[in-house]
């Protein structure tokens, strides 16, 4: 019953974001402000509160690092084989990238923080950091290989290095390493702000979803969906079971890797000469389907 309630609540927030955009309530300026609130305030608060009293050595184990690399590169390799015969290079690049590029910040991290204890949320924060550092160069490499672009790669790297969530992760780990104890009122306040991360993120994602029927390729979109919310978490389950990690690492890894295609892949497609309309459809479909699959994953790992 709890799963059904979570599923309904997540769907309601996602669709509310879409309805608010279509109704004109969330215009470009208000959407940007809402995104900024989630990205620069709520998500960093979640990360700091979950990591400031944790040991970096315990959070980032060799097994976790190996498992994340194997799952990410393994899924990308499978996607390359599955989509290798698509005649359109812009569409092929988008299909490959969206089969592994996960929505870690706007769905994975806030969902883990809202569902599990702070220990698992801390590991999810580290997973966000590690996968962000793997995803970006891999995505840029694939788009550069299959697309045509004049976009500055240096600018994309700068954007990653100034990511406020990664910054909060670094600060939290440093505070934990030196043994500083932040004032209790500050932690309570940040914790309260962090509870807004999931609803804000879902509304932001919902407001960004757009489905254009003229760009619907059932076979290609179905393959992307199957790889992203089906194959990737299944591969993660196999890999992390083989590595025999503890429950916290296992739960955080499965949920984070089971997230849908990131909204940012649509922006990457625009910047790097990919099929942006096709990318928008895939974000829409994988996000809606993932609300169900993520709820099931939470139950299975819980």
* Between 74 and 218, the higher pLDDT residue: 74
pLDDT of 294 reads 92
Q: What is the value of pTM for the model shown?
A: 0.90
Cα 91 to Cα 120, 222, 274: the distances in Å are: 36, 14, 6
C-alpha to C-alpha distances, 198 to 9, 118, 128, 236, nearest whole angstrom: 11, 15, 15, 23
SS3 88: coil
CB-count exposure of residue 299 (10 Å: 0-12, 13-18, 19+): exposed
Cβ neighbours around 101 below 10 Å, total: 27
At residue 267 the predicted structure's pLDDT band, cuts being 50, 70 and 90, is: confident
Mean pLDDT, the chain, integer: 88
User: If residue 58 lies in a helix (H) or strand (E), which one and from where to where?
Assistant: helix 56-59
Q: What is the pLDDT of residue 151?
A: 58
Q: How many domains does the chain have?
A: 1
Interval 144-165: pLDDT, tens = 887 655 556 666 677 777 888 8
- Token pair for 220: 């290609």
Q: What single-letter DSSP state applies at residue 108?
A: I
Q: Which residue has the tokens 């499965």?
A: 254
Give the structural domain span for 235. Answer: 2-301
Q: 290, 107 in Cβ contact below 8 A?
A: yes
- For the segment 17-51, what is each residue's pLDDT rounded down to a tens digit? 888 888 888 888 888 898 899 989 999 999 999 99
Task: Write the Ramachandran bin of 28: left for phi over 0, alpha for psi from -120 to 50, otherwise beta.
Answer: alpha
What number of CA atoms fall less than 13 Å from residue 57's CA on the CB side? Answer: 1
% of the chain beyond a pLDDT of 70: 93
Query: Alpha-carbon distance 172 to 59, whole Å?
Result: 12
Largest Cα span, the chain: 58
The CATH number linked to 122 is 1.20.1530
**What's the confidence (pLDDT) of residue 22?**
85
């Amino acid at each position: 019953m709890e799963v059904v309630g979570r599923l309904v609540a997540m769907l309601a927030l996602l669709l509310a974001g879409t309805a608010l955009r279509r109704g004109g309530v969330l215009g470009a300026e208000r959407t940007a402000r809402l995104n900024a609130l989630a990205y620069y305030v709520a998500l960093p608060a979640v990360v700091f509160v979950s990591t400031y009293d944790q040991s970096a050595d315990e959070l980032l184990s060799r097994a976790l690092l190996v498992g994340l690399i194997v799952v990410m590169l393994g899924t990308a390799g499978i996607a390359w084989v599955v989509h290798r015969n698509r005649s359109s290079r812009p569409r092929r690049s988008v299909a490959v990238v969206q089969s592994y590029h996960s929505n870690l910040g706007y769905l994975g991290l806030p969902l883990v923080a809202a569902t599990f204890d702070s220990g698992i949320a801390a590991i999810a924060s580290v997973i966000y950091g590690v996968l962000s550092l793997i995803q970006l160069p891999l995505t840029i490499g694939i788009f550069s290989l299959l697309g045509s672009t004049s976009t500055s790669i240096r600018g994309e790297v700068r954007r990653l290095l100034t990511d406020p969530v990664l910054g909060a992760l670094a600060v939290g780990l440093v505070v934990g390493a030196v043994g500083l104890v932040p004032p209790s009122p500050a932690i309570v306040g940040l914790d309260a702000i962090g509870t807004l991360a999931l609803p804000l993120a879902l509304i932001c994602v919902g407001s960004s979803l757009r489905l254009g029927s003229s760009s619907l390729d059932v076979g290609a979109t179905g393959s992307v969906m199957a790889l992203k919310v089906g194959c990737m978490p299944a591969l993660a389950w196999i890999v992390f079971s083989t590595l025999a990690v503890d429950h916290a690492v296992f739960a955080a890894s499965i949920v984070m890797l089971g997230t849908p295609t990131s909204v940012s892949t649509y922006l990457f497609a625009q910047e790097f000469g990919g099929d942006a309309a096709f990318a928008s459809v895939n974000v829409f479909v994988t996000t809606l389907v993932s609300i169900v699959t993520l709820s099931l994953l939470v139950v299975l790992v819980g």
